[in-house]
Every structure is written in C-alpha cells, then in structure tokens.
Amino acid sequence: MNAPDILRQLGLDTVNFGAFDGHWHGSGMKHTSLSPTNGHPIAKISTATHEDYKLVIERAHEAFLQWRDIPAPKRGEVIRQLGNALREKKDLLGSLVSLEMGKIKAEGDGEVQEMIDICDFACGLSRQLYGLTMHSERLHHRMYEQWHPLGVIGVISAFNFPVAVWAWNAAIAAVCGNATLWKPSSETPLCAIACTKIAERVCDANKVNPAIFSLIIGPGSSVGELLLNDPRIPMVSATGSCEMGKRVGEVVGRRLGRTILELGGNNAIIVTQYADLALASRAILFGAVGTAGQRCTSTRRIIVHESRHDDLVKRLLASYKQVVIGDPLDSHTLMGPLVNKAAVKTMQDAIQRIKEEGGKILYGGDILPEDKFPGGCYVKPCIAEAPHDARIIHEETFAPILYIIPYKSFDEAVAIHNEVPQGLSSAIFTTNLLEAEQFLSAIGSDCGIANVNIGTSGAEIGGAFGGEKETGGGRESGSDSWKAYMRRQTNTINWSRDLPLAQGIKFGD
C-alpha cells in the first residue's frame, strides 16, 4: 500500500489542518512531513497560530465542563467504542506510523495495539474510580474521600511513539472526566491528525460535543509555550527528552500546575555469570535494535560478568550481522531508519566521542550508502566498548548504540548500573535467585521498571510506566495512576445535633 492510499483511507489529504476543537482549522505556516525512509514529502499541515490556540483551549475547557457531568461508566462506553474504531484502522494506522516515524510495520501495529489495549483498560477502569471511607474520631460523623475530574489535560508526545503516548493519557483522562489537548511532535503530525479524526468520528456518533479530544500542531516555542503557561490546563503530561522535561516542569511548576514527566532512559541489562546467554542475547538484540534504538526503554548498556563477556559479544556480533535494514513497511525488515538527518548526525557525533573517551567500536555505526538507500536516514546498529564512567555513556543518545561494560563483583555491577542520571527501565539475566532478589530490592535497581530474564523494552499497559531521577518520576497506566488525572476530595458528614471539634478541642461554651 502506498502513501496516498494510506492517507486517503485514514481521511487525510495532501494538505491538512493542524488544529481541532470540534472544527478543523489552522492559519499558520505550512509544515511538510517527510518520510525518513526516503526523504519524500508525505503531506502538508497548516499549523496552528496563537489565535488558533485560543479557540482550541476555549472549546476544550467548554468540553470539559460538560463531559465531567457524564457518569463515568458512560464515559467508559465512549472509550470502548474508540478502542473498536482503532481496531478497524489498526493496519492503516500502523502503516502510517511506519511511514512517518520509521519503525518497522510489526512495531507500528504493536503501537496501535497498545492504544486498543489502553482503551479496554480504561473502559473497565470507568467502573473502578474508588475512594476510601475512614472512621472519624468524632461521634456520629462519617468521613470518606472521592475523586473528581481535574480539567483539560495537556498531552505533549514525542516522535518515537507518535500514537500510543496520546492514548495512554487520553483514554484514562477521558474516563476520569477530563478533556485533553494534544500537542504532538512536529516530526509525526500526520499520525496525530489520523488519531484525532478517528476519535472525532466516535465522539460525533455519541453526540459528545464540544470535542473532548483536541489537537494543536505547531512549534513548541509558540503554541507549546502557550499550553505550558495556560492556567486552564491544570496538568501537563509530557514525553520527551530530559531537557524538554525540565522546561515543562519549570514552567508548569511556576504556576503550581501538575506534571507527569516521562523523559529519557539510559537503560541497562546486567548479564551475570549465571545468565542464560541465548535468552539474554535475544532480548538485547530487540531492546537495542528495535525502533532503531529510538525508544525511551531501548537497551543502551550491557553490564556483563567478565567470565561471560567474550561469549556474549560473540553472540551479539553474529546477531547484529544478520539484522535486515531497510524499508520499515517491508515485512522482512528488522530495523528501519532513524527519524531524520539530525538524528543520524547525533549518532555519528556520539561514535566520535566514544573513541575520544577511551572506547572502541566493535561493530557498525556506519551511515548506509545513499545509492542503496536514497534519501533515507539509515545506519548500521553499533556495538561499542567504553569505560563505564565515560561521559558519553552517562548521556542518552537516541540511536542504536549499545555499550558493553564488563564487571567483576555483583555489587560493582549494581553500582555501575545506578551511576547514570536516568532511571527508567532495567533488567537482569540470571538463574541465581539471590542475585535476582537483590536486583529487585531497595539496594538494587534504582529504576521505575526492573525486570528479571526479560529485556528493558516492551511495557504492558497493566503496569505503571515511568522512571526516577532525570526520567521525571511520572507514571502512566496501570495500578492507581488514574489518580494523577483527578483531584482528591475529603468529605466529612456530621449526622448529629452537636458540633464536636477534632483532637478534642474546646472552643467557647
């Protein structure tokens, strides 16, 4: 299926509006979305201006005021239908993700499946927005807590998950009674428009008007800053780099707004002397090469016991040489392109720094020839060795670079693991119960996600997703993370004829 067919069947045109509030508009500059597979233009977007933003946020706030009054199970029904609408468009939307972002088709489809799964999860959640009751110390008083909708939730998403991140936030926010305003990455605006059009049809069918799912496409320096500074947006959920997250936290925090920050990862796998290397090497390959190393959960560091070092490196080199690189829509491809030429340069700069900081390249890292991949952003995945304290290793390079770091003692491995400033995902491969339990304990991994005998990638919607330190501390999906999208209220009811005060305080007669 070619690009025009994909766009047509998803309701997109050669020129599309970049603002949606129940009506499509956009009076700003034209932005062209380019495919990283060949550098060709896919379609254009009329971006949003300040005036477009004002219209969108006003309508989004109006939508919230009406939506919050709908019973939660009925809100859940709308999200159930959104999941079904996504099921119908899974193949097309997965293809668009591959075309515009560059991840292989299997991963594009998998990302859409995450959207479907979160809609199912949120639908069930709509009947489980539980509060607690507690006993009052005052006679004939009852106390309980309840949770109310928060408002318009701002969602800022990154290019590497151009559809799933929105759904992770929007589906749960919606059943909690909120509206959402989505600002997607300028690298993947067509994916956002396609998702919003699907949601628009579901809302129209259920007479949800004004629209609870709004969209604004434009530069972060303009409409992005408006969103961050807007007091009508009580919470902003932002996914992206640590630098971007610090800006979001600073601006939103200055007005005492809330944030959910899902930022960088520098994820490691400890491979111990007791590891199943066949299992570990498969997990490492997917974690490091999947999405061309452009996941926040990509595997970036391998901390391997010195006794297993040579064997593991041999296995990885053999696996890397078999990776098929090419068109992400080709079913035989295992690794597609980087998202743009700037990402290719960033990778090349990192490789140069590896050499300057005492490391060496064991495999790959080359830019693939223009005659074989005209206009594309293709590279060979890279395996490198470098000292664990090299500065480049402590930074997140959003590219398929894997660092091999040997260790002697298990405590040394954990210390190396935890010494980077990011703390998203982590894993250990071992058949030793004591090592596994220590890794999962308070003195083990300092990450928000810690796995045993499974890689760092592949989060499920049933578990809260997020990390610590410079990863931002935010959590999405799973467990009780829905509470982040609501405001807690404590209620006390006096059903007596007296007015006793707490703590036995006497005031007057």
Catalytic positions, written as ranges:
262, 296
Tell me whether residue 461 is exposed, middle or buried, using C-beta atoms within 10 angstroms of its C-beta: 0 to 12, 13 to 18, 19 or more: buried
The phi-psi region of residue 375 (left if phi > 0; otherwise alpha if psi is between -120 and 50; otherwise beta) is: left
Sheet holding 41-46, edge to edge: 15-17, 41-46, 30-34
- Please state, in angstroms and rounded to a whole number, the distance separating the CA atoms of residues 369 and 163: 31
**Separation CA 98–CA 410 (nearest Å):** 40
Phi, psi of 26 (to 5 degrees): 160, 110
CB 333 within 8 A of CB 104: yes
Strands (E), 76-171: 133-135, 141-149, 152-156
The answer to whether 119 and 350 are in contact (CB under 8 A) is no
Planar angle of CA 397, 400, 405, nearest 5 degrees: 80
| Cα 60 to Cα 178: distance, rounded to the nearest angstrom | 10
**Are 292 and 399 contacting, i.e. CB atoms less than 8 angstroms apart?**
yes
Residues 6+ apart with CB under 8 A from 321: 363
- Other beta carbons within 10 angstroms of residue 277's beta carbon come to 17
Q: Tell me, what amino acid is at 325? A: I
Strand ranges in 308-380 using DSSP code E only, listed in sequence order: 360-363
CA 34 from centre of chain: 22
Integer Cα distance of 179 and 214 in angstroms: 8
| Dihedral (Cα; 384, 385, 387, 391), 10-degree rounding | 0
Closest of 55, 72, 20, 47 to residue 212, by C-alpha: 20
